[in-house]
Structure 1
Amino acid sequence: MNKIGVFYGSTTGTTEDLARRIAEKLEVPSTHIYDVSKLTEALVNEYDVLVLGSSTWGAGELQDDWYDGVKVLKKCDLSHKHVALFGCGDSDSYSDTFCDAIGILYEELKGTHCKFCGAVDTAGYTFDSSTAVVNGKFVGLPLDEVNEDGQTDERISTWAEQIKQEIS
């Protein structure tokens, strides 16, 4: 069985809340959920699957704690790890940078030879542009707690089941 660690960067608490909800659906104990500011190489090495979450800030930027988190991840051997990405965005006010943080994490980590899982179809989302869309799909789970919070639970449940299948 794959050991899963959930790592999030959260400024307002929204991404932290979503990380906990995702962990619950993935049956990950709360002791395996971490603020990315505490990320270390030793911690990364404990897990087979890394679930990474960031909100998108400003003009499509990562949450602040992720800048150091990415540096830690790039120093690690991720070649035998699955990586699943999720993020928060505002599809109405920031429709041209919707969940770009997921795209940034993907771009930063694709050279590490990790195996990405959890791509999500763009159907059902309203946005203009996102760097998180690669080959017609989101590279992870985009969540909009501002405008589409009524869809979050279903999106998380569906995504969690997909992740379980992809890592088995």
Structure 2
Amino acid sequence: MKKIGLFYGTSTTKTAAIAQKIQEAFGQADLDIVPIESAWKEEFLTYNYLIVGTSTWFDGELPTYWDEVMPELTALELQDKKVAIFGLGDQVNYPDNFVDGIGVLAEAFETAGAKLVGLTSPDGYTFNQSHALKDGKLQGLALDIENQSDQTEKRIKDWVEQLKTEFNL
């Protein structure tokens, strides 16, 4: 079984760039890129660990490429899987649904039985509310490259180190 599958929409430039940075931060780890636009349920089952990424569109919606996968995703049995989520958002222009896409994916993967890892602190962000915030933690790595691009590299590096520990690598 392959170790890590990195699932994201390759058609969204910013999310793809972040996924590339995450892949580079993992270094020599057994990490495969899986375009969500062409992913099937078998691919989610192929990996021990999943990293999934999304941007948040409009008023807290997932991009259309995730919408097409969601019915299949929630029907999977992922009890033995650890899932880490990263998401892009804009806390200044969308403070009422900052990185909601993380929360939507977190809910779907938890419904499928997966264990969420890679939770992060909301400290350093300014927003009113987010579907990604649960029990005082963000359900993944939140990135605001529109307003805090100077913090992106460090946040990715720190998160990948956290995942290496949580994935037992």
TM over 0.5, shorter chain: yes
**Do 1:10 and 1:55's aligned partners in 2 also have CA atoms closer than 8 Å?**
no
User: Quick check: 1:157 aligned with 2:157?
Assistant: yes
**Do 1:5 and 1:28's aligned partners in 2 also have CA atoms closer than 8 Å?**
no
User: Quick check: 1:138 aligned with 2:143?
Assistant: no
1:24 Cα shift?
1.6
The residue number in structure 1 matching 2:55 is 55
The residue number in structure 1 matching 2:78 is 78
**TM-score with structure 1 setting the length:** 0.93
Provide the rounded CA distance (Å) in 2 between the counterparts of 1:45 and 1:29.
19
1:77-111 per-position Cα deviation (integer Å, ceiling 9, x unaligned): 21101000000001110111100000011112212
Provide the rounded CA distance (Å) in 2 between the counterparts of 1:40 and 1:29.
23
Identity %: 38
Letter in 1 for 2:23: A
User: Quick check: 1:22 aligned with 2:31?
Assistant: no
**Do 2:77 and 2:112's aligned partners in 1 also have CA atoms closer than 8 Å?**
yes
**TM-score with structure 2 setting the length:** 0.92
Letter in 2 for 1:121: S
Q: CA RMSD in A?
A: 1.9
Stretches of structure 1 that go unaligned for 5 or more consecutive residues are none
Letter in 2 for 1:125: Y
SS of the equivalent of 1:103 reads: helix
Name which of structure 1's ranges 39-48 and 7-16 shifts more when overlaid on structure 2.
7-16
1:21-74 per-position Cα deviation (integer Å, ceiling 9, x unaligned): 112212367971122111112212220111010100011101110012222322
Letter in 2 for 1:19: A
Name which of structure 1's ranges 110-119 and 153-162 shifts more when overlaid on structure 2.
110-119
Provide the rounded CA distance (Å) in 1 between the counterparts of 2:113 and 2:92.
34
Provide the rounded CA distance (Å) in 2 between the counterparts of 1:27 and 1:111.
31
1:125 Cα shift?
1.1
Question: Cα gap change, 1:50/1:31 in structure 2, threshold over 3 Å: closer, same or farther?
Answer: closer
Letter in 2 for 1:54: T
Provide the rounded CA distance (Å) in 1 between the counterparts of 2:7 and 2:162.
19
In the TM superposition, structure 1's runs of 4+ consecutive aligned residues that sit over 4 Å from their partners are 28-31
User: Quick check: 1:99 aligned with 2:99?
Assistant: yes
Provide the rounded CA distance (Å) in 2 between the counterparts of 1:146 and 1:27.
26
